[in-house]
Amino acid sequence: MTRGRIAVRTAEASQAPKLHALISANLEEGHLLPRTLSELVVHAERFAIAVRGKKIVGCAELAPLSPHVAEVRSLAVDSGERGRGVGTRLVDQLRRRALGEGFEKLCAFTHTPGYFMQMGFSIVPHQWLPEKIFTDCLKCPFFRRCGQYAMVVPLDHLRVADDRRRPLESIADDGRPGTVAPYA
Ligand SMILES: CC(C)(COP(=O)(O)OP(=O)(O)OC[C@H]1O[C@@H](n2cnc3c(N)ncnc32)[C@H](O)[C@@H]1OP(=O)(O)O)[C@@H](O)C(=O)NCCC(=O)NCCS
């Protein structure tokens, strides 16, 4: 029996409980920020989700930190679906969306820098992302001792790479439910 294909699309508010369950299941392993159900309802459309049938098998949020910088947050892939490129597809989808929305940089804060490095992110000093410090770090109990790496990828650089591969219009995330993200 085939398991069906995995599609990447934009989440809807009604899917917030499933998002909440997936993020909660990966909190400890991924050192993820706890998310409340109500904030996920409000911000559901920021999430790219990977779905197989009716199941959400992966998620990642594009959170704006400033008009110039957006952050990948709450990246999680169901343990039974890992190693198949789902996480990479989700980050790629957010990267394209961030590019389309005019952000200049995409950042991530992580304990697993190797994962983001193979997607083109570089480790930078936390001070290079003051938007994050003022938005989250100052009120965090682990400020200055969180052990996370700040990682960033400039989106302009990736625009050039994308333009070489295919026209930008054909890869834009149009946000419609059910849209299967093209993926190289
Ligand atoms: C990290 C996570 C999202 C990866 O999802 P995934 O769908 O398995 O990732 P992919 O299949 O896209 O992996 C692509 C590549 O990254 C590598 N990779 C996966 N996890 C990695 C890690 N922790 N460190 C370095 N490389 C890693 C894979 O080996 C693969 O390399 P390959 O293509 O050469 O084989 C998933 O393991 C997860 O949900 N973990 C728990 C939550 C978490 O850690 N979230 C991230 C917090 S920032």
Block means of pLDDT (10 residues each) for the chain, length 184 residues? 84 98 96 95 98 96 97 97 97 96 96 95 95 89 90 79 48 36 30
Domain interval for residue 76: 6-166
- Looking up tokens 């704006």 gives 64
* pLDDT score recorded for residue 171: 34
Q: Structurally, how many domains does the chain consist of?
A: 1
Best CA proximity match to 129, nearest among 46, 60, 66, 61: 66
- Ligand 1 centre distance from Cα of residue 73 (Å): 14
The closest-lying atom of ligand 1 relative to the alpha carbon of residue 109 is: 48
pLDDT at site 134? 87
Count the neighbouring beta carbons within 10 Å of the beta carbon of residue 100.
Answer: 16
Q: Which of 32, 62, 115 to mutate to test the pocket of ligand 1 (most atoms within 8 A of CB)?
A: 115
Question: Cα(121)–Cα(114) distance, rounded to whole angstroms?
Answer: 9
Q: Has residue 117 been placed in a domain?
A: yes
List of long-range contacts for 33-37, beta carbons under 8 Å, 24+ apart: 33/73, 33/74, 35/74
Residue 167 confidence (pLDDT): 44
**Residue 84 burial (10 A CB sphere; 0-12, 13-18, 19+):** middle
Residue nearest to atom 34 of ligand 1 (CA): 118
Whose CA is closest to atom 22 on ligand 1?
Answer: 115
Atom of ligand 1 nearest to the CA of 31: 47
Query: CATH no. for residue 81?
Result: 3.40.630.30
DSSP state string for 94-116: HHHHHHHTT-SEEEEEES-HHHH
Assess if residue 130 is contained within a domain.
yes
- The answer to whether residue 119 is domain-embedded is yes
